[in-house]
Chains A and B, each alone.
Chain A
Amino acid sequence: MDLELMLKVYPFFLEAAWVTVLLSVLTAILGLTCGTLGAAARLSRFAYLRFLGAAYVSVFRGTPALIQLFILYFGGPQIGIQLDAFEAGVIGLGINAGAYMTETIRGAIIAVDRGQREAARTLGLSSWQATYKVILPQAARLMVRPLGVNLNMLIKATALVAAIAVVELTYTAQRYIGSTYKPFEMFLLAGILYMIIIYVTGRGVAWLDRKVQIT
């Protein structure tokens, strides 16, 4: 194990880790937005919206995220979408994560007991009020933990943007493996940073989950 080399390159990995964090945060925000819209579409009264939502989930969960990223980044210019690698990474991964989150959010909403809506309507709340004041607050509690799993997958999926040359952790590791021929050391550096990011996020989700539960 070449500790000296690891100490020398470690600042570059730390810098790359921040790019991974930034990517994860932006992707999570976009993913949550897409997921909320997707879930709203899948639960809509209108059949064509339900179909659109289902198609979104099926197509984006049914094909590799890497290919989706390539279509956006390399194929985009052909249909007039010019993005730099970082933007393409955030948008591509965000839309992909949104498909998974759609199912999570939808699952939490339909897990709320039917009687809740019926009771709210009986008490004179409109359909809109019943959704926003009775159903969603309860669903929000149910979705924290599964969204945490989505977030964990999303952080690991940010490694894919290495393939379109965004200088984040995996790309940095790949480059240093190429130039130093020390795969194990570089994996260790990047791996530890990934695990720190994932551990901290996991603790954050667990904290939020405890916070929102009614005991």
Chain B
Amino acid sequence: MGLDFSIIPKYMDIILLGVAWTIGITVSAALLSFIGGIIFAVIALYAHWIIRQPFRLIEWVFMGTPLLLQLFLIYFGLVQIGIDLPAFIAGIIGLGLHFAVYNSELIQTAILAVDKGQMEAARTLGLSRGQALRKVVIPQAVRDVIPPIGNNMIALLKDSALVSVIGVSELTLSAQRVIGKTYRPFEFYILAAGFYYVINLCMEWVQHKIERRISISR
């Protein structure tokens, strides 16, 4: 069977819908992983050790096992304990938590890199510890950490393809559905790869812009 790219336009609407889903899932999971990353970092650095130790274990498990396996656990595990979530929400939670752990590592380093004097000055001015963290230390840490987090977000886009395995109709599964009808895997997977590549280039471009913005503001 040779190649025939001329049948692509007929199924373009299904693929484009998949693209929209992929972008939606990536953005939602990115937001979750960013906020989660900050919370995890604060817990890892400042929480009481009774909270911190089990938390470390969870972090370690998330970093030491494949994302695909974690997605299976979250999707089927939630069903087992009686929470029947739609697959795409399970996917967003899985991707979001996985990358929150990686973001947390970056944010922890950044928080520790903020000058100690900042916290001391904030405390001297009468801010509580929580306030000082929230209003002085974390904003500075977040600024430093945005470029490397950008790399994580690009990795997240590519890993969003994995949620096709738990049945979320994003770009990869849309391509699979079309292939089921047309028996043309090469053409449609190449098309999907092309869309991922373009989204990836756009994200790199945005990341570049933000990096320049930050380096000016410093």
Contacts and interface: CB of A to CB of B under 8 A. Distances in A.
A111 to B, nearest CB: 19
Contacts of A170: 66, 68-69, 72
Contacts of B159: 64
B69 A194 contact: yes
Nearest to A79: B186
A67 B77 contact: no
Contacts of B41: none
A184 B77 contact: yes
B158 A63 contact: yes
B58 to A, nearest CB: 11
Contact of A66 (B3, B80, B161, B186): B161
A75 B5 CA distance: 13
B165 interface: yes
B80 A64 contact: no
B64 interface: yes
A112 interface: no
A163 B159 CA distance: 13
A181 interface: yes
A79 B5 CA distance: 13
A158 B165 CA distance: 15
B49 interface: no
B200 A63 contact: yes
Interface string A171-185: 001100100011110
Interface in A133-163: 156-160, 162-163
| Interface size grouping (class) on chain A | 35 or more
Interface in A44-82: 59, 62-68, 70-71, 74-79
Q: Which of B1, B165, B189 has the most CB of A within 10 A?
A: B189
Interface in B162-205: 162, 164-165, 172, 175, 179, 184-187, 189-190, 192-193, 196-197, 200-201
A108 interface: no
Nearest to A72: B189
A187 interface: yes
A195 B61 contact: yes
Contact of B72 (A75, A76, A174): A174
A74 B190 CA distance: 11
A198 interface: yes
Contacts of A194: 64-66, 69
Nearest to B61: A191
Contact of B65 (A75, A177, A183, A190): A190
21 contacts: A62-B196, A62-B200, A63-B200, A64-B159, A66-B172, A71-B189, A74-B185, A75-B187, A75-B189, A78-B184, A78-B185, A156-B67, A159-B67, A160-B162, A162-B68, A170-B66, A170-B72, A174-B72, A177-B76, A181-B76, A191-B69
Interface of B: 1-3, 60-61, 64-70, 72-73, 76-77, 79-80, 158-162, 164-165, 172, 175, 179, 184-187, 189-190, 192-193, 196-197, 200-201
Interface of A: 59, 62-68, 70-71, 74-79, 156-160, 162-163, 169-170, 173-174, 177, 181-184, 187, 190-191, 194-195, 198-199
The 4 closest A-B pairs by CB, nearest first: A75-B186, A159-B66, A74-B185, A64-B161
